[in-house]
Structure 1
């Protein structure tokens, strides 16, 4: 089943990834801040994010993956990851893959393959993804084994730490500069609503883009933007999200 899904990802990326944006509008920025061994992150990538390539939605989306998440930088400059040393390894490997193959249509299959193994708790076999995808492992491993990988991760650390409002968990999904909080699985709706070009892709007409989502995101941004609310919102956020749904 995993092999079939991987073939599906490859087949759906080919026809759509290079498609130009629909006339009249800039692409919508979709940023995923994540860490490689986070189960919620792998679930998002494996079961949801790949669908962006299934249709013409990718034609209006500028997808960026930032594998750093909740890692911390120690005083000596070394990086400590939330789920341990192996997560730091895979964060750097995936960062090197993005650096080696900058186009999303080129690096996403590899990241999808690795995260599929994470999802099934087989991540120690991540190197098999090179062979499965027919990729040359040399540039990625050269990056990982040199200071290049660390420099890329430090760049991702700076990007993650500069988020406003700051991220409070992962996966942290941002659409055109605005986080969508716990509604991250519905990223398609936010992309369609943010896109200003006409006509919108056909996949957007299939999506229920209700005004309630905008109300939700505006409310959360207002609350998180006020320091006095931060401690309170952490307790009442689940209730607010449930009510708005």
Structure 2
């Protein structure tokens, strides 16, 4: 009976990944934004680390919501930065990650995915798949995401085994370490250059508030916009992993 339940869950997961992949492909091609609206896109930055349970929770239960509305997705310029609270060692070519070597590997894998598949409709479903496994404490099975999404593993494997992935991670380290104000924990969510601090799960409200384009997504029209004042630091209400 347990094996049957497990198989059903795996089947449902597979269907979801494929649906997300197809939806993203359609969303990108079906975007109805004008050139002026493209210039009005709101920059959404997520600074995170792969094995942080709070980062995984944000990605699979909150960030994914922007993909439920084509118009909402079309006004967002999403940037993922998989470094988080990692530290560069003195030799400047290796690093220590908060959740150990496995996190360093998966940070690098996700950096390689973003580089190898720069299109959002390819790298986000892959990262979502990995983070779903992290959320389920099954991250050692991350390579199954290639089969689930019918993706060729070669670009990713070549990237992280050649050392190129390390260079990508050092780039994300420099980017994360140059944040103003500095990040204090993960997930660290930034909208148009402004950190959301403890209110990160309310990020869609901030996107809608920051958007200056002509086509207002339905998600924004129906949203009761309550946002914390930008730049006001408060003790996090939602779970975070502190930068130690």
* TM-score strictly above 0.5: yes
On the 8 A contact 2:199/2:236 being kept in 1, the answer is no
Query: Would you say 1:69 and 2:81 are equivalent positions?
Result: no
2:13 corresponding residue in structure 1: 2
What displacement does 1:3 show?
2.4
Identify the residue that residue 120 of structure 1 maps to in structure 2: 136
- C-alpha contact (below 8 Å) 1:41/1:171 kept by paired residues: yes
Deviation at 1:238, TM superposition (A): 5.1
SS at match of 1:217: coil
Of 152, 156, 161, which aligns to 2:172?
Answer: 156
Indicate yes or no: 2:114 matched with 1:98.
Answer: yes
Gaps of 5+ in 2: 1-11, 238-244
* TM-aligned CA deviation for residue 197 of structure 1: 0.9
Does the 8 Å CA contact 2:188/2:197 hold for their aligned counterparts?
Answer: yes
Q: CA deviation at 1:10?
A: 2.1
Paired residues of 1:22 and 1:200 also in contact (CA < 8 A): no
Counterparts of 1:204 and 1:49, CA distance in 2: 15
Q: Secondary structure at the match of 1:17?
A: helix
Mapping of 1:170-209 within 5 angstroms?
170-209=186-225
User: Match of 1:217?
Assistant: 229
Contact kept, 8 Å, 2:197 with 2:236, in 1: the verdict is: no
Change (3 A) 1:90 1:238: closer
2 CA distance for matches of 1:17 and 1:82?
A: 35
Alpha-carbon distance, 1:12 to partner: 2.6
1:43 to 2:54 alignment: no
User: C-alpha distance in 2, partners of 1:96/1:70?
Assistant: 18
What is the distance in 2 between the residues matched to 1:21 and 1:188?
Answer: 18
Q: What secondary structure is seen at the aligned counterpart in 1 of 2:189?
A: strand
8 Å contact from structure 1 (residues 17, 53) kept in 2: no
Could you tell me the TM-score, scaled by structure 2's length? 0.86
1:53 paired to 2:53:
no
Alignment of 1:129-148 (within 5 A): 129-148=145-164
Contact 1:71 1:81 (C-alpha < 8 Å) held by counterparts:
yes
The count of corresponding residues between Structure 1 and Structure 2 is: 221
Q: CA deviation at 1:201?
A: 1.4
Deviation at 1:6, TM superposition (A): 1.8
Runs of 5+ consecutive residues of structure 1 not aligned to the other structure? 225-232, 240-245
Question: Which has more helix, going by share of residues?
Answer: 1
C-alpha contact (below 8 Å) 1:100/1:139 kept by paired residues = yes
1:3/1:43 Cα in 2 relative to 1: closer, same or farther (>3 Å)? same
- Alignment partner, residue 229 of structure 1: none
Seen in structure 2, the aligned counterparts of structure 1 residues 20 and 70 have a Cα distance that, compared at 3 Å, is: farther
**Structure 1 residues 123, 154: closer, same or farther in 2, change over 3 A?**
same
Give the aligned CA root-mean-square deviation in angstroms.
Answer: 1.6
Distance 2:236 2:178 in 1: 25
**Aligned residue in 2 for 1:21:** 33
- TM-score for both structures, normalised by structure 1: 0.85
Contact 1:34 1:68 in 2 (8 A): yes
